[in-house]
Each structure stands twice: as structure tokens, then as C-alpha cells.
Amino acid sequence: MFYRMSQYLYRIYSSRYFWWNLTLADLRFKYRRTYFGVLWSIIQPLAMTLLLSFVMGRMFKMPMHYFAPYIFSGMIIWELVLASAIAGCTTLVNAGCYIHLFNHPMIIYSLRSVLALFINFLYAMIGLLLWCFIAMPENIGFPYIVLPFACVLLFAWCWAGASICSFSGVRFHDLPQCLVLVLQAIWFISPVYFPLDLFREGRMTLLLDYNPIYHLLELFRAPLLDGHFPSWEHWAWSIGTAVFLWILAVVFIRGLERKTIYYV
């Protein structure tokens, strides 16, 4: 089994030029002929954050300088998770023209989609970091060191999730619609925009304690907004979820990959 897995990983590595160039192509096509180009990755969430933090900050009586980066961080992380899952559903259908020509590991096509989204996320992270540097200089310090690890975990979540969705999506064409419903429900019970106090005061701490999204968000928010290291529970939940998603992804790849050519 380990031999087969290492062979599979080697094939992903061997095709690196192919998937990396397709990722760059996706980024180029996305912003081709736009005036601001890749700056849209920062402008878009920033504009939405200003609007939402103004309205929701008043609703929840939260100070703007804290609530705006809270929303910004929630927005860019959630958007990446959502977009990866939705894009994953059609990834293999869109890659059909390649699948019928050459036998590359099919997981490279979800990698292509997620990498392009993740690079956009990293640009947006620059905006978030700048905001935090300016608005919360007192938080700058050693806890920032966890951010690259948090980004790697977030990427692992998204790639595994997109891969699961890609193999399911070619078989069940209703998946994107179902997924939107499920993810909307998860959004409502997660502190993506809603402040944590709302959950605690409403006696809904269970929705935080057992919600992997909350723990993942805290990996970013703890150092950036509160200036301290994320707790071990946040790491345990985030790493545990990544491991679970990858086990599921491997099961899907082993069981479904070879027959996928008949579906696309």
C-alpha cells in the first residue's frame, strides 16, 4: 500500500510542470484585461469587509478596529473553503479533455483549482496582515509564526475537500446544489462573521467547541487579532479534520479514480 501511495505521489510530482502551469493559466485568465488585475483579490474582500463591519459592527456593538479584521479573516478563509468545494464538483468534468488524452493522477486537477484559489487567498492575506499591522500593532509578535502552518492546514483541508467533491461530482450531478445548502447551514452555525460572544451568550458554545471551522478560524485570529498562540484544541481539531478529510480523499481516489474516465 505504501509503495502504491509513494508511486502515486511520485506521479503527482512528475506532472508538476503541467498542473503548475495550468494553475498560472487560471490566474491569468481570471484577471486578463482587468484594470486592477490581481489586486481584486484584496479589493473585493476589503470593500465587503468595510460594508459588513459598518453595518454588523453597529448591530452587535463591536468596535470597528477589531470587528473589521475579524470579518475580513472570516470572509477570506470561508470563501476559500466554499470556492474550493464548489469548484471541486466540476473539476474533473472540466478536465475531461485531458483525462481522455493522458493518464495523469486525477487529483492534480483538484490541485489546479485549489492552488489558484489559494494563491488568491494569499494575496488577500497580505491585505489582512497590513490591516492588522496598522490597526493592532500591539499584537505583532512571536505568535505570528503559526500563520504559515495555519495556511498549510487550510490548504490541506481545501485540497482534500475539493478532491472528494471532484470524484463525487462526476457521479452525482446534484452535488453542487446540495453542497451549497449544506455549506450555507454550516456558515450560519459558524463564527465566520458573527462574533463569538453571540454564540456564548446564546448558550450555543457547543456550536463552537465541536465546529472545525471555528477552530480553523482561530488558528488565524488568535495571533492576528488577540496576539496569542492558538490553543492545543484548535490545533487538534484542525489537524484532526485535515487527517479525516485526507483519509476520505484517499478512499475516494482508490475506489473511484480508474473508472472516472467513463463519466467525463
Partner 1 sequence: MEQIGIRLKDVDLYYSSVAFKERSLKATVLSFWKKHNTDLQDIHALKQITLEIKQGERVALLGRNGAGKSTFLKMLADLYPIRNGIREVHGNIRPLLELSLGFESEATGRENILYRGLMLGQSPKQVREKTDEIIEFAELGGFIDYPIKTYSSGMLVRLAFAITSTLEGDILLLDEVFGAGDYAFMQKAQKRITDLINQAKIVVYATHDWGSAKAICQRGLLFSHGRIVYDGPIDNTVEEYLKLLEAEKQ
Binding site for partner 1 (CB under 8 A): 14-15, 17-18, 21-22, 25, 29, 32, 97-104, 171-172, 258-259, 261-263
Distance CA 16, CA 35 (A): 30
Distance CA 215, CA 219 (A): 7
CB closer to partner 1 out of 111 and 242: 111
CB closer to partner 1 out of 4 and 100: 100
Residue 155: CB partners within 8 Å, gap ≥ 6? 114, 118
Residue 45: CB partners within 8 Å, gap ≥ 6? 72, 75, 76, 79, 124, 127
User: Taking the complex as a whole, how short is the minimal distance between the CB of residue 25 and partner 1, in angstroms?
Assistant: 6
- CB distance 55 to 131 below 8 Å: no
CB closer to partner 1 out of 171 and 200: 171
User: Taking the complex as a whole, how short is the minimal distance between the CB of residue 20 and partner 1, in angstroms?
Assistant: 9
CB closer to partner 1 out of 138 and 174: 174
229 torsion bin: left (phi>0), alpha (psi -120 to 50), beta (else): beta
Task: Estimate the share of the chain in helix, then strand, then coil, as percent rounded to the nearest 5.
Answer: 85, 0, 15
CB closer to partner 1 out of 53 and 110: 110
User: Taking the complex as a whole, how short is the minimal distance between the CB of residue 124 and partner 1, in angstroms?
Assistant: 24
CB closer to partner 1 out of 186 and 261: 261
DSSP-assigned states of every residue in 150-166: HHHHHHHHHHHHHHHHH
User: In 3D, which of 186, 188, 200 has the Cα closest to residue 241?
Assistant: 186
**Residue 105: its H or E element:** none
User: Taking the complex as a whole, how short is the minimal distance between the CB of residue 156 and partner 1, in angstroms?
Assistant: 25
User: Taking the complex as a whole, how short is the minimal distance between the CB of residue 17 and partner 1, in angstroms?
Assistant: 5
CB closer to partner 1 out of 21 and 34: 21
Residues in the chain: 264
Q: Which three cell numbers stand for residue 190?
A: 459558524
User: Taking the complex as a whole, how short is the minimal distance between the CB of residue 114 and partner 1, in angstroms?
Assistant: 18
User: Taking the complex as a whole, how short is the minimal distance between the CB of residue 119 and partner 1, in angstroms?
Assistant: 18
